[in-house]
Amino acid sequence: MSAELLRTIPEIRSRLAEVRRSGCTVGFVPTMGALHAAHGALIRRAWEESDFVVVSVFVNPTQFDRGEDFDRYPRTLPADVEFCAALDVDIVFAPDAKEMYAEPHLTLVEVSSLSERLCGEFRPGHFRGVATVVAKLLNIVQPDSAYFGEKDAQQLAIVRKMVTDLNVPVTIVPVATVREPDGLAMSSRNRRLDAGERRIAPTLYRALQAAARRVASGATSPEEVRSAAMAVLGSEDAIRVEYLEIVNPERMQPVERIDGPVRIAAAVWIGATRLIDNVLCQPPA
Ligand code: PAF
Protein backbone atom coordinates (compact mmCIF):
# COMPACT_ATOMS: atom_id res chain seq x y z
CA MET A 1 0.00 0.00 0.00
CA SER A 2 1.21 3.53 -0.61
CA ALA A 3 0.31 6.52 1.52
CA GLU A 4 -1.13 9.51 -0.35
CA LEU A 5 1.18 12.54 0.01
CA LEU A 6 -0.69 15.85 0.12
CA ARG A 7 1.04 19.23 0.35
CA THR A 8 -1.74 21.80 0.48
CA ILE A 9 -4.60 22.66 2.84
CA PRO A 10 -7.33 22.72 0.14
CA GLU A 11 -6.21 19.24 -1.07
CA ILE A 12 -6.36 17.61 2.34
CA ARG A 13 -9.62 19.39 3.23
CA SER A 14 -11.40 18.13 0.15
CA ARG A 15 -9.98 14.58 0.46
CA LEU A 16 -11.04 14.37 4.13
CA ALA A 17 -14.51 15.76 3.39
CA GLU A 18 -15.06 12.71 1.11
CA VAL A 19 -13.69 10.37 3.82
CA ARG A 20 -16.04 11.80 6.44
CA ARG A 21 -19.03 11.66 4.05
CA SER A 22 -18.39 7.93 3.73
CA GLY A 23 -18.82 7.65 7.53
CA CYS A 24 -15.17 6.91 8.43
CA THR A 25 -13.65 8.11 11.71
CA VAL A 26 -10.31 9.89 11.32
CA GLY A 27 -7.28 9.38 13.59
CA PHE A 28 -4.49 11.95 13.40
CA VAL A 29 -0.80 11.74 14.35
CA PRO A 30 0.97 15.12 14.14
CA THR A 31 4.76 14.81 13.74
CA MET A 32 7.83 16.73 12.67
CA GLY A 33 9.03 13.76 10.63
CA ALA A 34 12.24 11.72 11.07
CA LEU A 35 9.82 8.98 12.01
CA HIS A 36 10.88 6.11 14.27
CA ALA A 37 9.35 3.33 16.36
CA ALA A 38 7.72 5.74 18.84
CA HIS A 39 5.79 7.36 15.97
CA GLY A 40 4.94 3.81 14.88
CA ALA A 41 3.32 3.26 18.30
CA LEU A 42 1.21 6.42 17.84
CA ILE A 43 0.12 5.27 14.37
CA ARG A 44 -0.74 1.76 15.59
CA ARG A 45 -2.79 3.21 18.40
CA ALA A 46 -4.59 5.46 15.89
CA TRP A 47 -5.42 2.37 13.84
CA GLU A 48 -6.96 0.63 16.86
CA GLU A 49 -9.51 3.42 17.14
CA SER A 50 -10.01 4.89 13.65
CA ASP A 51 -11.10 3.88 10.13
CA PHE A 52 -8.74 6.31 8.40
CA VAL A 53 -5.32 7.53 9.58
CA VAL A 54 -3.59 10.82 8.73
CA VAL A 55 0.01 11.66 9.69
CA SER A 56 1.35 15.21 9.33
CA VAL A 57 5.04 15.87 8.74
CA PHE A 58 5.88 19.51 9.37
CA VAL A 59 9.02 20.90 10.98
CA ASN A 60 7.27 23.81 12.64
CA PRO A 61 9.53 26.89 12.63
CA THR A 62 7.56 28.73 15.33
CA GLN A 63 8.39 26.19 18.05
CA PHE A 64 12.18 26.42 17.68
CA ASP A 65 13.81 28.89 20.03
CA ARG A 66 17.23 28.49 18.39
CA GLY A 67 17.67 28.90 14.63
CA GLU A 68 20.48 26.38 14.49
CA ASP A 69 18.29 23.71 16.11
CA PHE A 70 15.63 24.30 13.42
CA ASP A 71 18.26 24.14 10.65
CA ARG A 72 19.74 20.91 12.05
CA TYR A 73 16.40 19.17 12.60
CA PRO A 74 16.42 16.00 10.44
CA ARG A 75 14.26 16.18 7.30
CA THR A 76 13.63 12.77 5.80
CA LEU A 77 10.29 13.06 3.94
CA PRO A 78 10.76 10.21 1.40
CA ALA A 79 11.70 7.78 4.19
CA ASP A 80 8.82 9.11 6.33
CA VAL A 81 6.31 8.47 3.53
CA GLU A 82 7.65 4.91 3.18
CA PHE A 83 7.47 4.42 6.95
CA CYS A 84 3.83 5.55 6.90
CA ALA A 85 3.01 3.36 3.89
CA ALA A 86 4.35 0.30 5.73
CA LEU A 87 1.89 1.08 8.54
CA ASP A 88 -1.01 1.56 6.08
CA VAL A 89 -1.35 5.28 6.81
CA ASP A 90 -3.87 6.74 4.35
CA ILE A 91 -2.60 10.31 4.05
CA VAL A 92 0.73 11.99 4.81
CA PHE A 93 0.14 15.73 5.02
CA ALA A 94 3.44 17.58 4.47
CA PRO A 95 2.81 21.30 3.94
CA ASP A 96 5.65 23.80 3.63
CA ALA A 97 6.01 26.79 5.96
CA LYS A 98 4.34 29.18 3.47
CA GLU A 99 1.31 26.91 3.27
CA MET A 100 0.98 26.78 7.07
CA TYR A 101 1.87 30.39 7.86
CA ALA A 102 0.48 32.60 5.11
CA GLU A 103 1.88 36.14 5.60
CA PRO A 104 1.08 38.05 7.69
CA HIS A 105 0.29 35.41 10.31
CA LEU A 106 -0.85 37.35 13.36
CA THR A 107 -2.56 34.79 15.60
CA LEU A 108 -0.78 32.82 18.31
CA VAL A 109 -2.15 30.38 20.89
CA GLU A 110 -0.73 30.70 24.39
CA VAL A 111 -1.61 28.24 27.16
CA SER A 112 -0.42 30.19 30.18
CA SER A 113 0.82 28.70 33.49
CA LEU A 114 1.23 25.17 32.08
CA SER A 115 3.87 26.58 29.73
CA GLU A 116 5.87 28.39 32.41
CA ARG A 117 8.04 25.73 34.04
CA LEU A 118 10.21 22.84 32.81
CA CYS A 119 10.90 23.19 29.06
CA GLY A 120 8.86 26.41 28.95
CA GLU A 121 11.37 28.13 31.22
CA PHE A 122 14.35 27.23 29.04
CA ARG A 123 12.75 27.42 25.58
CA PRO A 124 10.95 30.79 25.47
CA GLY A 125 8.05 30.75 23.01
CA HIS A 126 8.38 27.01 22.31
CA PHE A 127 4.97 26.00 23.64
CA ARG A 128 3.29 28.99 22.01
CA GLY A 129 4.59 27.63 18.71
CA VAL A 130 3.44 24.10 19.57
CA ALA A 131 -0.05 25.17 20.69
CA THR A 132 -0.44 27.37 17.62
CA VAL A 133 0.57 24.73 15.10
CA VAL A 134 -1.42 21.97 16.82
CA ALA A 135 -4.53 24.20 16.85
CA LYS A 136 -4.02 24.89 13.13
CA LEU A 137 -3.44 21.22 12.26
CA LEU A 138 -6.52 20.15 14.25
CA ASN A 139 -8.58 22.75 12.38
CA ILE A 140 -7.25 21.56 9.04
CA VAL A 141 -7.61 17.80 9.63
CA GLN A 142 -10.61 17.88 12.02
CA PRO A 143 -9.87 14.39 13.32
CA ASP A 144 -11.98 12.41 15.77
CA SER A 145 -8.85 11.58 17.80
CA ALA A 146 -5.26 12.83 17.87
CA TYR A 147 -2.31 10.94 19.35
CA PHE A 148 0.58 12.36 21.41
CA GLY A 149 3.50 10.66 23.16
CA GLU A 150 3.93 10.86 26.93
CA LYS A 151 7.64 11.54 26.49
CA ASP A 152 6.57 15.13 25.81
CA ALA A 153 4.37 15.23 28.91
CA GLN A 154 4.28 19.02 29.15
CA GLN A 155 3.31 19.31 25.48
CA LEU A 156 0.57 16.73 26.05
CA ALA A 157 -0.81 18.63 29.07
CA ILE A 158 -0.75 21.89 27.10
CA VAL A 159 -2.48 20.39 24.05
CA ARG A 160 -5.19 18.85 26.27
CA LYS A 161 -5.84 22.17 27.99
CA MET A 162 -5.83 24.08 24.69
CA VAL A 163 -8.40 21.68 23.23
CA THR A 164 -10.61 22.01 26.33
CA ASP A 165 -10.30 25.80 26.54
CA LEU A 166 -10.93 26.35 22.82
CA ASN A 167 -13.72 23.72 22.61
CA VAL A 168 -11.97 21.80 19.85
CA PRO A 169 -14.09 18.68 19.12
CA VAL A 170 -11.32 16.07 19.28
CA THR A 171 -10.21 13.38 21.74
CA ILE A 172 -6.54 13.70 22.70
CA VAL A 173 -5.06 10.25 23.29
CA PRO A 174 -1.78 9.85 25.27
CA VAL A 175 0.55 7.03 24.23
CA ALA A 176 3.23 5.58 26.54
CA THR A 177 6.88 6.46 25.91
CA VAL A 178 8.67 3.95 23.69
CA ARG A 179 12.19 3.11 24.88
CA GLU A 180 15.30 1.50 23.43
CA PRO A 181 16.25 -1.78 25.18
CA ASP A 182 18.68 0.18 27.40
CA GLY A 183 15.91 2.57 28.54
CA LEU A 184 16.69 5.63 26.39
CA ALA A 185 13.41 7.24 25.30
CA MET A 186 13.11 7.21 21.51
CA SER A 187 13.52 10.65 19.94
CA SER A 188 14.50 12.04 16.56
CA ARG A 189 17.26 13.89 18.40
CA ASN A 190 18.95 10.61 19.47
CA ARG A 191 20.45 10.30 16.00
CA ARG A 192 22.60 13.36 16.76
CA LEU A 193 24.43 11.54 19.57
CA ASP A 194 27.88 10.18 18.70
CA ALA A 195 28.80 6.66 19.90
CA GLY A 196 30.23 7.85 23.25
CA GLU A 197 27.27 10.14 23.92
CA ARG A 198 24.82 7.41 22.98
CA ARG A 199 26.46 5.09 25.52
CA ILE A 200 25.83 7.46 28.42
CA ALA A 201 22.40 8.71 27.26
CA PRO A 202 20.43 6.00 29.17
CA THR A 203 21.75 7.54 32.42
CA LEU A 204 18.85 10.01 32.16
CA TYR A 205 16.23 7.27 32.47
CA ARG A 206 18.25 5.49 35.18
CA ALA A 207 18.26 8.72 37.18
CA LEU A 208 14.49 9.12 36.81
CA GLN A 209 14.00 5.51 37.88
CA ALA A 210 16.19 6.06 40.96
CA ALA A 211 14.00 9.04 41.89
CA ALA A 212 10.79 7.10 41.21
CA ARG A 213 11.98 4.32 43.54
CA ARG A 214 12.34 6.90 46.34
CA VAL A 215 8.76 8.05 45.76
CA ALA A 216 7.52 4.45 45.68
CA SER A 217 9.24 3.76 48.98
CA GLY A 218 7.53 6.67 50.69
CA ALA A 219 9.80 9.73 50.34
CA THR A 220 7.66 12.87 50.62
CA SER A 221 10.37 15.50 50.18
CA PRO A 222 10.87 16.61 46.56
CA GLU A 223 14.45 17.63 47.45
CA GLU A 224 15.30 14.11 48.65
CA VAL A 225 13.82 12.59 45.49
CA ARG A 226 15.61 15.11 43.31
CA SER A 227 18.94 14.36 45.03
CA ALA A 228 18.55 10.64 44.23
CA ALA A 229 18.27 11.46 40.53
CA MET A 230 21.04 14.08 40.61
CA ALA A 231 23.42 11.57 42.21
CA VAL A 232 22.98 9.26 39.21
CA LEU A 233 23.32 12.09 36.68
CA GLY A 234 26.38 13.40 38.53
CA SER A 235 28.18 10.11 37.81
CA GLU A 236 28.62 11.22 34.18
CA ASP A 237 30.73 14.37 33.64
CA ALA A 238 29.46 14.74 30.09
CA ILE A 239 25.86 15.26 31.22
CA ARG A 240 24.72 18.82 31.98
CA VAL A 241 21.37 19.04 33.74
CA GLU A 242 19.10 21.81 32.47
CA TYR A 243 16.25 21.03 34.88
CA LEU A 244 15.00 18.18 36.99
CA GLU A 245 11.70 18.82 38.71
CA ILE A 246 8.99 16.97 40.57
CA VAL A 247 5.68 18.36 39.37
CA ASN A 248 1.96 17.88 39.67
CA PRO A 249 1.03 15.85 36.55
CA GLU A 250 -1.92 18.07 35.54
CA ARG A 251 -0.68 21.53 36.50
CA MET A 252 2.97 20.91 35.63
CA GLN A 253 4.03 23.00 38.65
CA PRO A 254 6.59 21.84 41.27
CA VAL A 255 5.08 20.21 44.36
CA GLU A 256 6.15 21.15 47.88
CA ARG A 257 5.36 17.71 49.31
CA ILE A 258 4.79 14.38 47.59
CA ASP A 259 1.37 13.18 48.74
CA GLY A 260 -0.14 12.02 45.44
CA PRO A 261 0.96 11.11 41.92
CA VAL A 262 3.87 13.21 40.60
CA ARG A 263 5.74 13.45 37.36
CA ILE A 264 9.53 13.61 37.59
CA ALA A 265 10.67 15.45 34.47
CA ALA A 266 14.14 16.36 33.28
CA ALA A 267 16.05 17.90 30.41
CA VAL A 268 19.77 17.31 30.03
CA TRP A 269 22.43 18.22 27.52
CA ILE A 270 24.91 15.65 26.27
CA GLY A 271 27.36 17.52 24.06
CA ALA A 272 25.23 19.59 21.65
CA THR A 273 22.14 17.42 22.05
CA ARG A 274 19.28 18.15 24.41
CA LEU A 275 17.32 15.16 25.70
CA ILE A 276 14.12 15.16 27.73
CA ASP A 277 12.37 12.38 29.59
CA ASN A 278 9.92 11.91 32.45
CA VAL A 279 8.25 9.25 34.59
CA LEU A 280 4.91 9.29 36.35
CA CYS A 281 5.10 7.89 39.86
CA GLN A 282 2.89 7.12 42.74
CA PRO A 283 3.61 7.22 46.50
CA PRO A 284 2.74 4.05 48.42
CA ALA A 285 -0.97 3.72 49.33
O1 PAF B 1 5.91 16.52 19.17
C2 PAF B 1 6.11 16.99 18.03
O3 PAF B 1 6.67 16.33 17.15
C4 PAF B 1 5.68 18.42 17.72
O5 PAF B 1 5.85 19.25 18.81
C6 PAF B 1 4.24 18.51 17.15
C7 PAF B 1 3.20 18.05 18.17
C8 PAF B 1 4.14 17.69 15.90
C9 PAF B 1 3.93 19.98 16.80
O10 PAF B 1 4.81 20.48 15.84
How is 92-122 classified by DSSP, letter by letter? EE---HHHHSPSS-------TTTTTSTHHHH
User: What does the pLDDT average to over 3-18?
Assistant: 98
Cα of 228 vs its chain's centroid, Å: 26
Residue 200's domain comprises: 188-281
pLDDT score of 100: 98
**Residue identifier of the C-alpha nearest atom 8 of ligand 1:** 31
User: What does the pLDDT average to over 34-47?
Assistant: 98
pLDDT score of 67: 82
Q: Which candidate, 70, 60, 251, places its Cα nearest to that of 137?
A: 60
Query: What atom of ligand 1 comes closest to residue 149's alpha carbon?
Result: 1
Angle at 123 between CA 117 and CA 126, to 5 degrees: 95
Looking at the structure, do residues 125 and 164 belong to the same domain, yes or no? yes
Asked whether the predicted pLDDT for residue 41 surpasses 80, the reply is yes
Looking at the structure, do residues 166 and 241 belong to the same domain, yes or no? no
What's the total number of domains in the chain?
A: 2
Looking at the structure, do residues 131 and 167 belong to the same domain, yes or no? yes
Length of the chain: 285
Cα of 89 vs its chain's centroid, Å: 20
**Residue identifier of the C-alpha nearest atom 1 of ligand 1:** 31
60 lines ligand 1 (CB under 6 A): yes
156 lines ligand 1 (CB under 6 A): no
**Residue identifier of the C-alpha nearest atom 6 of ligand 1:** 31
Looking at the structure, do residues 159 and 213 belong to the same domain, yes or no? no
Q: Which candidate, 101, 89, 97, places its Cα nearest to that of 5?
A: 89
Q: Which strands sit side by side in the sheet containing 273-281, from one edge to the other?
A: 239-247, 262-270, 273-281
Looking at the structure, do residues 217 and 165 belong to the same domain, yes or no? no
31 lines ligand 1 (CB under 6 A): yes
Split at pLDDT 50, 70, 90, the class of 68 is confident
- What CATH number is attached to the domain comprising 260? 3.30.1300.10
Q: Which candidate, 278, 213, 204, 206, places its Cα nearest to that of 246?
A: 278
Lowest-pLDDT range of 55-59, 65-69, 158-162, 215-219: 65-69
Q: Which candidate, 88, 95, 98, 82, places its Cα nearest to that of 34?
A: 82
Q: Quick: pLDDT tens for 227-243.
A: 999 999 999 999 999 99
> How many angstroms separate the alpha carbon of residue 16 from the centre of ligand 1?
21
146 lines ligand 1 (CB under 6 A): no
| Residue 194 is assigned to a structural domain of this protein | yes
| Residue 270 is assigned to a structural domain of this protein | yes
Looking at the structure, do residues 25 and 127 belong to the same domain, yes or no? yes
Q: Quick: pLDDT tens for 127-154.
A: 999 999 999 999 999 999 999 999 999 9
| Position 200, amino acid | I
Q: Is 273 helix (H, G, I), strand (E, B) or coil?
A: strand
Asked whether the predicted pLDDT for residue 278 surpasses 80, the reply is yes
What are the counts of helices (DSSP H) followed by strands (DSSP E) for the chain? 11, 9
pLDDT score of 63: 97
Which DSSP helix (H) or strand (E) runs through 242?
A: strand 239-247
Looking at the structure, do residues 114 and 162 belong to the same domain, yes or no? yes
Q: Which residues of 212-229 are buried (b: 16+ CB within 10 A; e: fewer)?
A: bebbeeebeebeebbbbb
C-alpha–C-alpha distance, residues 92 and 86, integer Å: 12
33 lines ligand 1 (CB under 6 A): no
Looking at the structure, do residues 252 and 121 belong to the same domain, yes or no? no
> How many angstroms separate the alpha carbon of residue 73 from the centre of ligand 1?
12
pLDDT score of 259: 96
> How many angstroms separate the alpha carbon of residue 149 from the centre of ligand 1?
10
Q: Beta 171-175 vs 26-31: how paired, if at all?
A: unpaired
Catalytic residues: 39
> How many angstroms separate the alpha carbon of residue 63 from the centre of ligand 1?
9
Split at pLDDT 50, 70, 90, the class of 203 is very high
| Residue 144 is assigned to a structural domain of this protein | yes
pLDDT score of 166: 98
| Residue 52 is assigned to a structural domain of this protein | yes
153 lines ligand 1 (CB under 6 A): no
Asked whether the predicted pLDDT for residue 1 surpasses 80, the reply is no
Looking at the structure, do residues 192 and 171 belong to the same domain, yes or no? no
Looking at the structure, do residues 166 and 195 belong to the same domain, yes or no? no
Q: Which of these three, 175, 199, 222, is where a domain ends?
A: 175
Contact indicator for 56, 5 with CB cutoff of 8 Å:
no
**Residue identifier of the C-alpha nearest atom 9 of ligand 1:** 130
Q: Quick: pLDDT tens for 142-195.
A: 999 999 999 999 999 999 999 999 999 999 999 999 999 999 999 999 999 999
